[in-house]
Chains A and B, each alone.
Chain A
Amino acid sequence: MSKPIVATTSLAGCFGCHMSILDIDERILDLIHLVEFDKSPIDDIKKFSRKCDIGLIEGGCCNSENVHVLKDFRENCKILVSVGECAIMGGLPAMRNGIPIRECLEEAYLNGPTVKENNKLKIIPNDPELPILLDKVYPCHEVVKIDYHLPGCPPRADLIWEALVALVTGNELKMPYEVIKYD
């Protein structure tokens, strides 16, 4: 039987969930015998080269590009997993959800102490090359169907490891009470 194929991506996340994947340490050497990686920052493959079995998503959606990438993952992966608080409920970036986006931009580019005196033209980045910011940060399951959620900020490495093994072998994952939190 050919090995299951895994893809991963980071949307509006901090890359901490990907770092937690690396925190499986020596087991990464087992992992590469268990599965193959396709599109993922871990192996530097940027485009889907084939249909994948498992897609791991870090981060929610804060701009049009995130939505585009997430839909692409849904189309190309049989199973999609929201990994970590940001993917599951927006996480820290979603702290902006109660605030008009204009205010966030003004604070960063017009009012900050290192810009307020010298940004005389009152420039706020706004160029066709920049993706459009969404009104708020959306969790992944509000954009596409998500099959599983792995809690944590980031989910601990053991949990990610066990979840991958469970998905690959078809066994049930034990999720003890202590890991269901978002610290």
Chain B
Amino acid sequence: MGQKITIEPVTRVEGHGKVTIHIDNEGKVNQTRLHIVEFRGFERFIQGRPYWEAPVLVQRLCGICPVSHHLAAAKALDVIVGAGTGEGLTPTGDKMRRLMHYGQIFQSHSLHFFHLASPDLLFGIDSDPTNRNIIGVALANKDLAVQGVMMRKFGQEIIEATAGKKIHGTGAIPGGINKHLSTADKERFINGKKPLNIDNMISWASDAVDFFKDYHSKNKKLIDGFADFPSSYLSLVRKDGAMDLYHGVLRAIDKDGKIILHDVDYQDYLKYIDEEVRNWSYMKFPYLKEFGRQNGWYTVGPLARLNTAEFIDTPLAQKEFEQFKSYNNGKPSHKPMHAHWARLIEILHSAEKMKELLNDNDLLEGELVIKGKKRHEGVGLIEAPRGTLFHHYKINEHDQIEMCNLIVSTTNNNQPMNEAVYQVAVREMNNKKEITEAMMNAVEVAIRAYDPCLSCATHALGQMPLEISLFDSKNKLIDKRCSFQ
């Protein structure tokens, strides 16, 4: 008898998601889907608004990493006000925005590591799900919880000092930034009382990388053996091939590491990227045009960035990068669980970058904004915590937005997440007499490795309570249960 299994609610992926798995009469998995069920309509309702509203409006799509949307929109508008792409800003404008962005990467990745990964590592994948969350961590290991809370707090305070507010700030404006860093803030971030100073953040970030490597050496099977499948990768890199999370050229590599998109100017992204619409999900499926819908999909995010970059320009993170590369024999890593490792290396890199910037006097004085000859179209890209984020605007002669196109990080990972769900479902569920909760959990783990959004970030890996509906071949509900009641 054929079955359809629904797992919901899965995650918040800039909207909610659920998974359906269809099993045919012979017990074979013949179709799996990750559905994104929320739709906002931003591209249409932003039309007619004055362009300078975009950076403050669009961030309200996602309160997890609002700074990324804020900055991607501002970068697109830099082009429109004639301030160039990325390199054109004043030193103050560029560096204040970078500090804001590294603060954001630092807080978002810390949230992910301490809220998502640490409960599993501390309690084990099979432990009681009621405790396998940050609250459980706080009760069991207060020091670790405090460290997570404080690292996130530091990142949020950097954002507040540069953007005016921790969530949905206003710092970036077309052509630059609206304020300097105050000397009091600079002083407090550099020499503040422990734990809230930058040196302590760097040392905690190093500890977190060590924690992971130690865990990895003891749990090879989980970290290396999970749902490994080949993918292409896409990210920004600096012109010289260094990792750059704020600005650069667009590079893609194939599964063997060969460059297949050669460091192109992202103003031309339309030449290279298209999106497919499928009727069962509100989230579109981007792909590289040259390779077509079937083969052109790619992965973005921390793992993609470590795979595409040639080096990291801060010393501690570079050392970790070298270890990561040599562990993978210089080839791209296709192991979704290595994304945790990559994320921690990026936390360390962001902390080192913040220190560099905090000691730079350009943040305290200098021109804030630059303008040039007005244009009517601009594209802004940034490496958000979860991957490459695209913003594209056109304006009319009254300065109103006429067209807006967004490809957000989680959308870029749509096909890889679907691919991962399929791989795990086939491996775990094919020809099995009974579908167990452990099998369902494996599907969840696969999705969460991509860190789609907050509920993900707060779910303990692999133990998410699921609602499962079994349907017969006529789609009639025959059984329903919940793993958590």
A binds B: yes
Task: Give the distance in Å from the alpha carbon of A113 to the alpha carbon of B393 in the complex.
Answer: 11
- In the complex, which residues of chain B have a beta carbon less than 8 angstroms from the beta carbon of A104? 39, 41, 43-45
Binary B-proximity of A119-138 (CB < 8 A = 1, otherwise 0): 10001111101110100000
Interface string of A5-49 (1 = CB under 8 A from B): 000001011111111101101101100100001000111111101
B60 touches A92 (CB 8 A): yes
Interface string of B361-403 (1 = CB under 8 A from A): 0000000000000000000000000000000100000000001
Q: Which residue of B lies closest to A107 (CB)?
A: B44
| A–B Cβ pairs within 8 angstroms, 10 of them | A14-B59, A23-B167, A28-B138, A42-B133, A45-B484, A96-B40, A96-B45, A112-B405, A125-B39, A130-B282
Bound together, the chains give a CA A106 to CA B39 distance in angstroms of: 12
Q: Which residues of B contact A172 (CB under 8 A)?
A: none
Q: What is the bound-complex CA distance between A16 and B153, given in angstroms?
A: 15
Q: How many angstroms from the CA of A168 to the CA of B88 in the assembled complex?
A: 53
Q: Decide if B60 touches A108 in the complex (CB within 8 Å).
A: no
Stretch at the interface among B211-219, B273-281, B301-309: B273-281
The residue of chain A having its C-beta at the shortest distance from the C-beta of B156 within the complex is A23
B44 pairs with A96, CB closer than 8 A: yes
B353 at the interface (CB under 8 A from A): no
A28 contacts B167, C-beta separation under 8 Å: no
Expressed in whole angstroms, the minimum distance between the Cβ of A60 and any Cβ of chain B is: 12
Q: Are the CB atoms of B60 and A127 closer together than 8 Å? A: no
For the complex, what is the distance from the CA of A41 to the CA of B484, rounded to whole Å? 14
Contact (Cβ within 8 A) A113 B392: yes
Tell whether, in the assembled complex, residue A107 and residue B484 are in contact, meaning their CB atoms are under 8 Å apart. no
Please state if B111 and A22 are interface contacts (CB–CB under 8 Å): yes
Instruction: Report the separation of the CA atoms of residues A42 and B64 in the bound assembly, to the nearest whole angstrom.
Output: 13
CB distance from A113 to the nearest CB of B (A): 5
Would you call A109 an interface residue if the criterion is a C-beta within 8 Å of the partner chain's C-beta atoms? yes
Chain B residues, CB < 8 A from A105: 39, 41
A101: B residues at CB distance < 8 A: 41
Interface segment among B245-253, B257-265, B454-462: the answer is B454-462
Q: Is A115 an interface residue (CB 8 A)?
A: yes
The one of A20, A109, A117 in contact with B167, judged by C-beta atoms closer than 8 angstroms, is A20
Closest partner residue, chain B, to A46 (CB atom): B465
Q: Which residues of B contact A (CB under 8 A)?
A: 6, 9, 12, 16, 18, 20, 33, 35, 37-41, 43-47, 57, 59-64, 66, 111, 129-130, 132-135, 138-139, 142, 145-146, 149-150, 152-153, 156, 165-168, 270, 273-282, 284, 286, 392, 403, 405, 407, 453-455, 458-460, 463-467, 482, 484-485
Cα-based distance from A41 to B60 in the complex (angstroms): 19
A103 touches B (CB below 8 Å): yes
Contact indicator per residue, chain A 58-87, by CB within 8 Å of chain B (1) or not (0): 000011010000000000000000000000
Q: Is the CB of A63 within 8 A of B38?
A: yes
Q: Say whether A129 contacts B20, CB under 8 Å.
A: yes
A103 contact set on B, CB distance < 8 A:
44
CA distance A91 to B57 in the complex (A): 10
Q: Is A115 within 8 A of B41, CB to CB? A: no
In the complex, A95 has a CB within 8 A of chain B: yes
Kindly report which residue of chain B lies nearest to residue A131, judged by CB atoms: B37
Q: Is the CB of B465 within 8 A of A47?
A: yes
Q: Which of B66, B166, B453, B485 has the most CB of A within 10 A?
A: B166
Q: Which 10 A-B pairs have the closest CB atoms?
A: A16-B63, A104-B41, A107-B44, A14-B63, A127-B280, A92-B60, A41-B455, A46-B465, A104-B44, A95-B45
Q: How far is the CA of A17 from the CA of B322 in the complex (A)?
A: 39
Q: Which of B20, B133, B276 contacts A44 (CB 8 A)?
A: B133
> Which B residues are in CB contact (< 8 Å) with A171?
none
Which chain B residues border A144 with CB–CB below 8 Å? none
Most chain B Cβ neighbours within 10 Å, of A22, A45, A118, A133: A22
Instruction: Tell me if A89 counts as interface (CB < 8 A to partner B).
Output: no
New A-B contacts (9) at CB < 8 Å, excluding given A14-B59, A16-B63, A44-B455: A12-B38, A15-B454, A19-B64, A20-B167, A25-B152, A25-B153, A65-B16, A113-B405, A114-B405
Q: In the complex, what residue of chain B is closest to A129 when comparing beta carbons?
A: B35
Interface size class of A (residues with CB under 8 A): 35 or more
- Interchain CA distance A76-B156 in the complex, whole Å: 33
**Contact residues in A for B45 (Cβ distance below 8 Å):** 95-96, 99, 104
Task: Contact check, B12 vs A41: say whether CB atoms are below 8 A apart.
Answer: yes
Residue in A closest to B270 when the chains form the complex, CB atoms? A113
Note all chain B residues with C-beta closer than 8 A to A123: 277-279
Q: How far is the CB of A47 from chain B (nearest CB, A)?
A: 6
| In the complex, chain A residues whose CB is within 8 Å of the CB of B20 | 129
A45→B128 CA distance, assembly (Å): 12
**Is the beta-carbon distance between A125 and B279 smaller than 8 angstroms?**
yes
Known: A43-B135, A113-B405. A125 touches B63 (CB 8 A): no
Contact call A29/B43, Cβ cutoff below 8 A:
no
Chain A nearest CB from B380 CB (Å) reads: 15
**Chain B residues, CB < 8 A from A157:** 166
Chain A residue at smallest Cβ distance from B459: A44
Determine the chain A residues whose CB is within 8 A of the CB of B142 once the complex forms. 29
Q: Is the Cβ of A18 less than 8 Å from the Cβ of B274?
A: no
Most buried by A among B135, B281, B464: B135
Q: Does A154 contact B (CB under 8 A)?
A: yes
Q: Give min CB distance, B56 to chain A, whole Å.
A: 9
Contact present for B167 and A16 (CB under 8 Å): yes
Q: Does A165 contact B (CB under 8 A)?
A: no
**Contact with A43, one of B9, B46, B458 (Cβ below 8 angstroms):** B458
Q: Does A115 contact B274, Cβ atoms closer than 8 Å?
A: yes
Residue of B nearest to A49 (CB): B485
Complex-state Cα separation, A109 to B130, whole angstroms: 40
In the complex, which of the residues A16, A46, A95 contacts B467, with contact meaning CB atoms closer than 8 Å? A46
B107 to chain A, nearest CB (A): 9
Measured CA separation A104–B281 after assembly (Å): 15
B404 vs chain A, min Cβ distance (A) = 9
Contact B458 A44, beta carbon cutoff 8 Å: yes
